[in-house]
Amino acid sequence: MSDPVLVTDDGPVRVITINRPHARNAVDLAVAEAIEQAIDSYEENPGLRAAVITGAEGTFCAGMDLKAFLRGERPSTPRRGFAGLVERPPAKPIIAAVEGYALAGGFEIVLACDLIVAAETAVFALPEVQRGLVAAGGGLLRLHHRLPYHLAMELAITGRRLGAADAHAHGLLNRLVPAGEALTAALGLAREVAANGPLAVTASKKIMTESSHWPPEEAFDRQRAISEPVRASEDAREGARAFTEKRAPVWQGR
């Protein structure tokens, strides 16, 4: 039996591939546990600075494995939730590379990512209501922050599908690419991220993801608590030296 999740490292970039094409890469417990392990080791490895998650053989992910659900299986982990990701995404950046369908929990995996690259033939949807279920893997919590409210509500309560062109037009996607090129484009974007100071990237992500919940009168103080350690780091000095010396910086992550 093949591994349900494939993990490969290309320099500073980790690629996580859901590998159940016979089930349209639907998520069962084995997939969730393997993704969590891949995310944990990504966070722990200072040499890895960006990650890409994708699906094998032209489909991103059809969501929860309903056959496993009927057997009583819950495709979640205690720490990171559905698919070993959605409740606690990594502190480092993660990019979705979407070909084909990203449905239900598959769309929720996409929404848990920081950047999204999709093929022109990609399709997104939260069809849980059509099955008597609720999109409780973060889809209802995140979608209305990424799309106009009424469009997000329509998708949530009708279950209708959103094509990649419309998703891009509404600002959901970072890149829209020809079919078959999502992973290549996502890797290019990941390398752009990985070329930057890792402490600065992680701090910037933390501020962006957390600041919407900060009281306005506390926002700059909270930002300062995150940004000042980066400003005082060896990497900050290296970045300044590299700029003045007209060379590429050599980051140490400290």
Pairing of strands 50-55, 94-98: parallel
pTM: 0.96
The string of pLDDT tens digits covering residues 119-168 is 999 999 999 999 999 999 999 999 999 999 999 999 999 999 999 999 99
For residue 72, the cross-strand partners are none
How far is CA 116 from its chain centroid? 7
H helix or E strand, kind and range, residue 200: helix 198-210
In a domain, 85, yes or no: yes
Supply the pLDDT for residue 225: 98
The reply to whether 207 and 166 lie within a common domain is no
> Which amino acid is it at 142?
R
In a domain, 252, yes or no: no
The string of pLDDT tens digits covering residues 202-253 is 999 999 999 999 999 999 999 999 999 999 999 999 999 999 999 999 999 9
Q: What is the mean pLDDT of residues 169-183?
A: 98
In a domain, 146, yes or no: yes
Supply the pLDDT for residue 162: 98
The reply to whether 11 and 30 lie within a common domain is yes
In a domain, 251, yes or no: no
Q: List residues with catalytic annotation.
A: 108, 128
In a domain, 225, yes or no: yes
> Which amino acid is it at 214?
W
Tell me what the pLDDT averaged over the chain comes to.
97
The reply to whether 187 and 203 lie within a common domain is no
- Distance between CA 26 and CA 42 in Å, rounded? 22
For residue 175, the cross-strand partners are 117
Our count of domains for the chain comes to: 2
Asked if residue 109 lies in contact with residue 53, where contact means CB atoms within 8 angstroms, the answer is: yes
In a domain, 65, yes or no: yes
Pairing of strands 81-82, 76-77: antiparallel
Domain that holds residue 233: 198-244
End residue of a domain, out of 194, 216, 235: 194
Asked if residue 113 lies in contact with residue 142, where contact means CB atoms within 8 angstroms, the answer is: no
- Distance between CA 173 and CA 99 in Å, rounded? 13
- Tokens encoding 253: 């992550």
Supply the pLDDT for residue 54: 98
In a domain, 113, yes or no: yes
The reply to whether 141 and 235 lie within a common domain is no
- Distance between CA 59 and CA 69 in Å, rounded? 20
In a domain, 22, yes or no: yes
The string of pLDDT tens digits covering residues 89-128 is 999 999 999 999 999 999 999 999 999 999 999 999 999 9
The reply to whether 10 and 111 lie within a common domain is yes
The string of pLDDT tens digits covering residues 49-79 is 999 999 999 999 999 998 888 898 999 999 9
The reply to whether 135 and 210 lie within a common domain is no
Residue with the two structure tokens 């590379």:
97
The reply to whether 135 and 220 lie within a common domain is no
H helix or E strand, kind and range, residue 70: helix 66-70
Q: Within a 10 A sphere around the Cβ of 166, how many other Cβ atoms?
A: 14
Supply the pLDDT for residue 69: 84
DSSP class of residue 61 equals B
- Distance between CA 60 and CA 206 in Å, rounded? 26
Pairing of strands 13-18, 50-55: parallel
The reply to whether 77 and 99 lie within a common domain is yes
The reply to whether 120 and 230 lie within a common domain is no
The reply to whether 112 and 171 lie within a common domain is yes
CATH number for 31: 3.90.226.10
The reply to whether 117 and 159 lie within a common domain is yes
> Which amino acid is it at 198?
P
Asked if residue 161 lies in contact with residue 177, where contact means CB atoms within 8 angstroms, the answer is: no
The reply to whether 56 and 147 lie within a common domain is yes
Contacts of 240 (CB under 8 A, 6+ apart): none
pLDDT at residue 1 greater than cutoff 70: no
Supply the pLDDT for residue 19: 98
